[in-house]
Each structure stands twice: as structure tokens, then as C-alpha cells.
Amino acid sequence: MLKLERTTNEDGEFRRLIAELDEDLNSRYGELQKQYNGFNRVDKIDTVVIARIENEAVGCGCFKPFDNKTVEIKRVFVQKNFRGNGIADAILKELETWAGELEFTTAILETGKGQPEAIRFYTRQGYTVIPNFGQYIGNDNSVCMKKLFHIKF
């Protein structure tokens, strides 16, 4: 059974999962991935979600404030053996819900052109492609996306 847990960047399971994500990205992008390492830092992110199946951490994601109404979704990852089971959907929904609880109304994110499955996933979740933002401006390998969400409590 899938269980979602809210935690912080100091969670050892989160660190392990993002190390696996980094390995995957390095295998896809090679030397190009090095320019993103600074963008992917999580040391100041305290809004982390871990997905567990039978107490095993199998996926994660996090967000950080971008401005007073917008969060940037970061480091969404599900281990290969667990993909295709709705885990990423659940992680993303939990991140959006948490952001809404903190009174954010919009999420933005960046993914790479070398990850067409991620682009399809975010599109299915209601995200639309936008001009590259922040550190991704002028980067032809980045695809930036946005979603407005309205959560009532």
C-alpha cells in the first residue's frame, strides 16, 4: 500500500533517492548534466514528500518558493521498478496540496528535453509549457512548465 510522508531535505531516504535520480540524469545527459548540479541543490528545501510501499522509500519530490504565490517543483523521482503505478501522480498531488495549504496558487518546474516521459507526465497532470524562467532562460535543453491550482480548505 502506498504511503506518502512529508519530511525535510535532511531525510536520509530522500538523499538516497535523489542520488539515484542524479545517476539517471547523468546517464541521460552526460557532461551536460554538470551545469544543472547547482540548480538541483536541496539543502534549503524543507518541503519534501517521500512515497513508501511497505515502508520502502520508492519515490520523492519537493518544492521551494519561487515567489509569494508560486512554488518550483523539484526532484520528482520514482525508482524504475515502481514506475507506472501512479506513484508519481500521488507525489505530485501531495506536493500541490501542501503548497496550497501554504497559500501558494501556482507551480512551475523544469525538466529536460531528454526526458519525454516527464514532459508527457506533467502535461497529463495539467501543466503547460511556458517560456524558460530564472536560471533556465537561454537553455535550449530545458523545458519549463506551469500549473495553476485551486485548493479549498
Top-confidence residue, 51 or 139: 51
SS3 96: helix
Percent of the chain that is helix, strand, coil (3-state, to 5): 40, 30, 30
- Residue 36: the pLDDT is 58
Q: Mean pLDDT, the chain, as a whole number?
A: 89
- For the residues 61-80, what does the mean pLDDT come to? 95
Handedness of CA 58, 88, 50, 133 (dihedral sign): positive
Question: In the chain, what is the greatest distance between 2 CA atoms, to the nearest angstrom?
Answer: 45
Q: Is the pLDDT of residue 135 over 60?
A: yes
H or E element that contains 36: none
- For the residues 100-110, what does the mean pLDDT come to? 96
- Residue 153: the pLDDT is 44
Under the banding of pLDDT at 50, 70 and 90, the label for residue 5 is very high
* Residues 2-107, CATH architecture: 3-Layer(aba) Sandwich (3.40)
Over pLDDT 90: what percentage of the chain? 71
Under the banding of pLDDT at 50, 70 and 90, the label for residue 151 is low
Cα 33 to Cα 35: distance, rounded to the nearest angstrom: 5
Over pLDDT 70: what percentage of the chain? 85
